[in-house]
Amino acid sequence: MLQELSWKVGGQQGEGIDSTGKTFATSLNRMGYFIYSYRHFSSRIKGGHTNDKVRISNVARHASADTLDILVAFDQETITLNARELRENGIVIADAKFNPTLPEGLAAGVQLFSIPITKIAEENGAAIMKNMVALGATSYVIGMKPDFCEPVISSMFARKSQKIVDQNMAAVNAGYEAIAASGVDFTAFHLAPAATVDHLLMTGNDAVSLGALAAGARVMPAYPITPASDVMEYLIKKFPQVGGVVIQTEDEIAALNMTIGASFGGARALTSTSGPGLALMMEALGLAGMTETPVVIIDAQRGGPSTGLPTKHEQSDMYAALFGNHGEIPKVVLTPGNAEECFYATVDAFNYADQYQCPAILMTDLALSLANQTVPEFSLDNVTINRGKLATDEQLAQTEPGKLFKRYELTEDGISPRVFPGQKGGLHHVTGVEHSEVGRPNEGQANHTQMMDKRLNKFKGFELPNSVSYSGNANPEILVVGVGSSMGPISEAIERLLAEGKNVAHAQVKVISPFPEKTLQNYMDSSKKVVVIESNGTGQLYHLMNFFGLSHNTLISHTKYDGTPFLPGELVDYLKGLM
């Protein structure tokens, strides 16, 4: 029996591919399997090839499988585009409606099973239920009873009627019987029983949304953009339940300006966007930095430049996040590596923004934002709220009548007492112009130098906790450095190489501002070769390491920028080539 299986369903966008993959993944997750599900889709509402590749395992995985065991095809294009991923003796389950054929050049032993998926769906209610027929056929192949997905189907359709639930389950059972009638022994594709049960299934966007709720955020002005829109859509449903509000603004410029206003008023506020929206926010980002107003920005990276690849994977906003704004301001930039880290990093982003009174950008990427993955249950015991240096009643009482409060007081750590509107004794001036300690415009040379030092020195010689994680051997022959969702494929590649006796290690960068110079340099110093793995065309993390003064005799950049994430196997092959 298989400890792991890779399954993919494909067809035209609008045919229910997403719901098919989600139903399959959710059903198996509830049974206790670990899931990683990555969806390939086009930047259009309907039409164009789309697929969902689901990896089912008895151990946690955060990357797609290198190969494919089972391909479910609703059209010939799906076979043409994806069949070459099939492993030796893999199978294709296809709709007989389009007379499916296998292309040449496939792995040995690949078999095609053609069943009348659409016809069976029509006989059981409607052609739209062909996804249920496909699930039924799959359940037989992998050794599951056809009712394995009934709880999920019931939760999906019970609000419509029990009749709809029954029709969908009838389609599942019919699909099961149709492939069972072939008489083929599919024991080689049967999944071993699940080893565990207590975990969740969600995307990075889901985890970010839950993290914002746990952090006490209650205001979100935002403008929809792929792949960040899910954060906004999730919180539209949840914020009203806790007294919060989501506002769809006219553009990203307004979104960040409203976020700044809400934060200035005392609320914890966030906005979410992707690269094009982040570009529009840059002027307002400078305002947040100059006025030392905490804001949280979620940047879900996608392929660029311009409109680029709205629905494809890339990690090319690092320069923009660090240096895109005019002038110089301090900011925190966090780069979690999986959905679990997204939850806790979102809480951290709000705390850091408040503590250091600056913008905090949480950078995800499309693979992290949209891939469904199994995560352990979150612990609210690990969530703390830190609102930073808020002015005390004693400090406010020291403000002389008729005088303004020193909101931007020059302090040793560069962080001044913060007040909210309406606090007695806290009246001060706020402007984007350079200002004095009470906020009055002051363009004097000495004042500007003092205020710049005050703001910029908040992170001088300082690293945030847990800025880099490390796994593998000490003193490795090769140290792999990664960022964002690359953590999954890199971790698995390192795991395989260690099992082969290779001397390797993995350092994952979780914070790129303030950049963890000392920690990363220490890991590099103990390594013979350092390889930086990232999904962009110019090696942005690699060049940031150079920019911040990190050095090594053998520092190698390895990039991929075709719109798809790395696979563990391709990294194994690449790293072996360096040994």
Looking at residue 196, what is its pLDDT?
77
pLDDT tens for 438-454 read 999 999 999 999 999 99
3-class SS string, 337-394: CCHHHHHHHHHHHHHHHHHHCCEEEEEEEHHHHHCEEEECCCCHHHCCCCCCCECCHH
Mean of pLDDT over the chain: 96
- Which of 38-52, 280-294, 533-547, 554-568 is the least confident region? 38-52
Where are the CATH 3.40.920.10 domain residues in the chain?
Answer: 4-197
pTM of the model: 0.96
Question: Above 90 in pLDDT, residue 461?
Answer: no
Question: Above 90 in pLDDT, residue 43?
Answer: no
Question: What average pLDDT does the segment 335-345 reach?
Answer: 98
Assign 472 to helix, strand or coil. strand
Which band of pLDDT confidence, cut at 50, 70 and 90, is reported for residue 304?
very high
Q: In the numeric block, which tokens belong to residue 30?
A: 């509830």
Where are the CATH 3.40.50.920 domain residues in the chain?
Answer: 468-577
Tell me which amino acid residue 344 is: Y
pLDDT tens for 73-125 read 999 999 999 999 999 999 999 999 999 999 999 999 999 999 999 999 999 98
Q: Which helix or strand (DSSP H or E) is residue 105 part of?
A: none
pLDDT tens for 120-140 read 999 998 999 999 999 999 999
To the nearest whole percent, how much of the chain has pLDDT over 90?
A: 96
Q: Using CA of residue 492, residue 485, residue 11, residue 171, what is the dihedral sign?
A: positive
Which band of pLDDT confidence, cut at 50, 70 and 90, is reported for residue 197?
confident
Question: What average pLDDT does the segment 59-72 reach?
Answer: 97
Higher pLDDT, 198 or 64: 64
Which band of pLDDT confidence, cut at 50, 70 and 90, is reported for residue 46?
confident
Q: In the numeric block, which tokens belong to residue 175?
A: 């699909």
Looking at residue 14, what is its pLDDT?
87
Report CA 540 to chain centroid distance, whole Å: 18
Q: Which residues contact 319 (CB under 8 A, 6 or more apart)?
A: 540
Which band of pLDDT confidence, cut at 50, 70 and 90, is reported for residue 144?
very high
**Do you know the residue count of the chain?**
579
Question: What average pLDDT does the segment 463-485 reach?
Answer: 98
In CATH terms, the fold of domain 201-382 is Rossmann fold (3.40.50)
Q: CATH 3.40.50.2000: does it fit domain 4-197?
A: no
Q: In the numeric block, which tokens belong to residue 165?
A: 């639930």
In CATH terms, the fold of domain 468-577 is Rossmann fold (3.40.50)
